[in-house]
Amino acid sequence: MATFALPLTTHPMEAKTAETLPVEGGPWQYEPKWDGFRCLVFKEGGAVELRAKSGKPLGRYFPEVVAFFGALEAARFVVDGELMIASAGFGALQMRLHPAESRIRKLAVETPAAVTLFDMLAGTDGEKMLRKPLEERRAALEAFAAGYGLNLSPVTRKVDVAKKWLAKPAGNMDGVVAKRLGDPYSPGERTMIKVKRLRTADCVVGGFRYLAGRREVGSLLLGLYDDAGRLDHVGFTSTIPDDERPRLTARLEAMRAPPGFTGRAPGGPSRWATERSGEWEPVRAELVVEVRFDHVTDERFRHGTKLLRWRPDKAPEQCGMEQIRT
């Protein structure tokens, strides 16, 4: 096995979440936060390894990316970037995590992936660059990318430009990351700052789940009406204040009635599904809540949402899928 300039166990530098972009304590470099798979690319001779943020190998699922970096004349390097499929969204990346090699090869041709680079951990001469300041690493990365025509993430030192990225993200951009120009690369440490683009939607409550071991509501199941007028399940919110649970439980139990959702329903086939996750109580589609969310994949909230407020002023039929479509 090849000996790379850095161990394959090297973790990518991470970010802590903030609500606003930092200005003090810099100077800062701002760059887009991409919605893909974080990926470290290691090369030594003809050997190429792709590693996810978790440390798991990704090369098997993205053979076209391995082949691309393997064909570069540069014999060695370690770079940090985001693995994305420009022609599709995050769902297309998830489809690659498939056990059948034939399926992966087919998708590699139909929806090829690429890595957008934003940091350099080891140079083409094998020099380890972790201790060098970001300003020097970025200069080396730009020279490397220019020499081989690689995808390079844009950067700016102007916070006003970064705010525009945050207000109107393009493509697979879903926020902004801020890095200090003088900082070294700190594997596994949250030394960067990320500000996500957060959006809100008014959703219909189509059902609920109980807390584990308690007959109190644990989460609200959320729905939006599709173009055909069917109520599709799009996600959940569990940020319910404890002192409101007893009263809300009584209210929801009094509203229990099937089907809850008239289109896509909760509890469908999923690699994450458990016996308990399939259990839910349908209610009449009468209540509307406003929630805050970050990512949407295949017209579903990818993560849990934050309950902001109840919307008694809004009719359920006004809660359409267009709210979460890009």
**CATH code for the domain in which residue 33 is found:** 3.30.470.30
pLDDT at 274: 42
- Dihedral pair phi/psi, residue 133, rounded to 5°: -65, 155
Q: Does 26 map to a domain?
A: yes
DSSP letters for 178-227:
EEETT----TT-EEEEEEE--EEEEEEEEEEEEPTTSSSEEEEEEEEE-T
From residue 163, alpha-carbon distances to 32, 154, 160, 168 in Å are 10, 14, 5, 9
Identify the three-state secondary structure at position 285. Answer: coil
How many Å from the N-terminal Cα to the C-terminal Cα in the chain? 44
Asked whether residue 258 falls in the same domain as residue 150, the answer is: no
Residue 13 is predicted with a pLDDT of 96
- DSSP H or E stretch at residue 174: strand 173-180
Place of tokens 């690429």: 114
Assess if residue 9 is contained within a domain: no
Q: Is residue 6 part of a domain?
A: no
Say if residue 203 is in the same domain as residue 72. no
CA–chain centroid gap for 90, Å, is 7
CA distance 49 to 122: 14
Assess whether 53 and 156 both reside in one domain. yes
Number of domains within the chain: 2
The pLDDT value given to residue 278: 65
All residue ranges of the chain with pLDDT < 50 are 269-276
Domain finish residue from 196, 216, 251: 196
Q: Which of 174, 196, 218 is the last residue of a domain?
A: 196
Query: What is the C-alpha separation between 50 and 36, in angstroms, rounded?
Result: 14
Residues 142 and 26 grouped into a single domain? yes
Which residues are marked as active site? Answer: 33
Domain boundary among 196, 228, 259: 196
Instruction: Give the pLDDT confidence score for residue 326 in this predicted structure.
Output: 65
Compute the distance between CA of residue 294 and CA of residue 300 in angstroms, rounded to an integer. Answer: 11
In a domain, 8, yes or no: no
Burial degree of 295 (CB within 10 A; 0-12, 13-18, 19+): middle
Q: How many whole angstroms from its chain centre is CA 85?
A: 13
User: Does residue 63 sit within a domain?
Assistant: yes
Are both 124 and 232 inside the same structural domain?
no
Does residue 37 sit in the same domain as residue 147?
yes
Q: What is the CATH number of the domain that holds 228?
A: 2.40.50.140
* Same domain assignment for residues 215 and 174: no
What count of residues does the chain have?
A: 326
Does 185 map to a domain? Answer: yes
> How many CB atoms are closer than 10 A to CB 249?
19
The b-or-e profile of 262-290 (16+ CB within 10 A means b, else e) is bbbbbeeeeeeeeeeeeebbbbbbebbbb
C-alpha 15/C-alpha 192 separation (Å) is 4
Question: For residue 84, is it within any domain?
Answer: yes
Q: Which domain holds residue 64?
A: 14-196
Residue 5 within a domain: no
Both 217 and 152 in one domain: the answer is: no
Q: Do 184 and 234 fall within a single domain?
A: no
Quick one: 209 and 183 in the same domain?
A: no
DSSP3 helix / strand / coil % (the chain, rounded to 5): 25, 35, 45
Give the separation between CA 119 and CA 41, rounded to whole angstroms: 11
pLDDT in tens, 199-219: 899 999 999 999 998 999 999
Residues 174 and 238 occupy one common structural domain:
no
pLDDT tens for 146-205 read 999 999 999 999 999 999 999 887 778 889 999 999 999 999 999 999 998 888 999 999
Residue 48 shares a structural domain with residue 170: yes
